[in-house]
Amino acid sequence: MNTIVRLDLGGAAQIIFEAGDITEQQTDAIVNAANSSLMGGGGVDGAIHRAGGPAILEECRRIVARDGHLPPGEAVETTAGKLQASYVIHTVGPIYRDGLHGESSILASAYRNSLRLADRLGLLSVAFPAISTGVYGFPAEGAAEVALGTVIDELAMARNVRLVRFVLFSPAMLSTFIQAAIEQQQRREATGWNFTTTTQEEFNPRKEKEAMMSRKKIIAANWKMYKTPEQARQFMHEFMPLVKDHKRDEIVICPPFIDIATVSELANGSNIEVGAQNLYWEKEGAFTAEISGEMLVGAGCKWVIIGHSERRQYFGETDDTVNHRLKVALEAGLAPIVCVGEVKEERESGITEDVLRRQCTRAFAGVSARKAARMVVAYEPVWAIGTGLTATPEMASDAHQLIRREAANVFGEEYAQQLRILYGGSVKPENAHALLSQPEIDGALVGGASLKADSFSKIVHW
């Protein structure tokens, strides 16, 4: 019998502690610390590396040939060879001397970068053996403290990763990590955390994954063509304190281009992420007044709205240009919010389904599920935008189900189950709860009601 301790962090994130051999288990990614084939100077190959077979070693050699040795604290992925995971994430931890040579910060960076990489890959779960504990002489308590502190902070920010498993090689190490988790709870005065202990024959990754499939909601503001940089600054000063402890949902603000730098600077290190309202599909060149994905990333954007109905209506956006923009946004590492939605006449003549289907298939053409991991879709019925008319929660749910089916056709069922579909169109504090409590509605894209700190914060707290 295996003892499993589960820590529910509130919101959607969980940490599982268990003793066992990670090479025999199924998970989305296994973190392999201190891979000698990626480090300068050698060392022993880890059990994960050996169990995965020569394919991983080959990939590691190619990485070193291409990029050189992996610096301590960085992370790269390879496929998982013979292991059951989808990826192995390789990182190089510190060699512990006396603790005074920055060992803790390198260890934190190894955990942080591994988790961020998993998140960029769109993975739901990551499993860590107790990296650097024992192997490099890092005192177990110290390592557990650094590991847990980092993982808890990262989980609060992660977009995709919801479950981190610590699979430890001995019962003593297991208790050290559990003790460190209890200390974190006390230090953070985290009242919403919940520990449960169960015994199981073996870990059931399939069931675990199903349970984790619930999607974290996103509350996004689309400011359209409102606010000068000074007004944006004013908004952030009012808004940030109102949502500073909010972890349940992701918060995104998409200001006009000219305000992005101001908003990103103020949001830096907070629970608020920044997006743009459009991007161009060329990398650079003589394209007066256009903005590239790389420029957006450089200005602090993580998100970008694509194909908003106002772009389609007034600026000649088509399904094909949406598709071009989607591809470059993903290439640039941005999370695209692809907008679809029918106009009034289309709904009245009963062709809503055809329109949504066409918009989705054309937007997604030539994009793989793996590449599209960060994509989000926003259903915005055009007749509901800025009109005060809202789709009823049932109407929105129906449209979302149709979009999810379309995503399943293009990207597969597993992808579709994780895809987040937002609703947009006259979302206000008064109707936010009814809409957002629908399981099919994974968030909101808010126009008018996002312009005032007070009303947008009420929507965030739906």
Q: Which is nearer to ligand 13P, 112 or 308 (CB)?
A: 308
Name the nearest CA neighbour of 57 among 83, 86, 78: 78
Q: Contact 369/415 with Cβ under 8 angstroms?
A: yes
Among 427, 435, 436, 453, indicate the residue that binds ligand 13P (CB under 6 A): 427
Q: Name residues contacting ligand 13P, limited to 304-333 (CB under 6 A).
A: 308
Q: Render 4-52 in DSSP notation, one character per residue.
A: EEEEE-STT-EEEEEES-GGGS--SEEEEES-TTTSTT--PPPHHHHHH
Where does residue 434 rank: exposed (0-12), middle (13-18), buried (19+ CB within 10 A)?
middle
Which one is catalytic: 308, 310, 400, 440? Answer: 308
- Catalytic, 380? Answer yes
Q: 299 or 451, CB closer to ligand 13P?
A: 451
Q: How far is CA 199 from the centre of its chain?
A: 30
Helix axes 229-243, 260-267, angle to 10 degrees: 30
Active-site residue (options: 77, 380, 406, 440): 380
Does 421 sit near ligand 13P (CB under 6 A)?
A: no
Task: Give the nearest distance from C-beta 163 to ligand 13P in angstroms.
Answer: 31
Query: Within a 13 Å sphere around the CA of 61, how many CA atoms are in the beta-carbon half?
Result: 5
Q: In the set 27, 94, 447, 459, which binds ligand 13P (CB under 6 A)?
A: 447
Asked if residues 22 and 126 have their Cβ atoms less than 8 Å apart, the reply is: no
Active site residue 69: no
User: Contacts with ligand 13P in 355-384 (CB under 6 A)?
Assistant: 380
Instruction: Please identify, among the stretches 96-104, 242-250, 354-362, 445-453, the one whose residues bind ligand 13P according to the rule CB under 6 A.
Output: 445-453
Return the amino acid letter for 445: L
Least distance from ligand 13P to the Cβ atom of residue 250, Å: 16
Stretch that binds ligand 13P, among 154-162, 193-201, 362-370, 419-427 (CB under 6 A): 419-427
Q: What is the 3-state secondary structure of 292-348?
A: CHHHHHHCCCCEEEECCHHHHHHCCCCHHHHHHHHHHHHHCCCEEEEEECCCHHHHH
Separation between Cα atoms, residue 376 and residue 374, nearest integer Å: 7
Q: Which of 10, 43, 333, 448 binds ligand 13P (CB under 6 A)?
A: 448
424 binds ligand 13P (CB under 6 A): yes
Tell whether residue 445 is a contact of ligand 13P (CB under 6 A). yes
Does 385 contact ligand 13P by CB under 6 A?
Answer: yes
Q: Look at residue 385 and give its three-state secondary structure.
A: coil
Which is nearer to ligand 13P, 112 or 311 (by Cβ)?
311
Question: What part of residues 207-236 is at the interface with ligand 13P (CB under 6 A)?
Answer: 222
Any contact of residue 259 with ligand 13P (CB under 6 A)?
no
| Least Å from the CB of residue 431 to ligand 13P | 10
Q: 280: which 2 tokens?
A: 């161009």
Q: At what angle do helices 140-157 and 103-120 cross, to 10 degrees?
A: 30
Interacting residue with ligand 13P among 91, 321, 352, 426 (CB under 6 A): 426
CA dihedral angle for residue 140, residue 145, residue 150, residue 155, rounded to 10 degrees: 100
**Which residue among 118, 295, 332, 446 contacts ligand 13P (CB under 6 A)?**
446
List of residues contacting ligand 13P (CB under 6 A): 222, 308, 380, 385-386, 424-427, 445-449
Enzyme catalytic residues: 308, 380
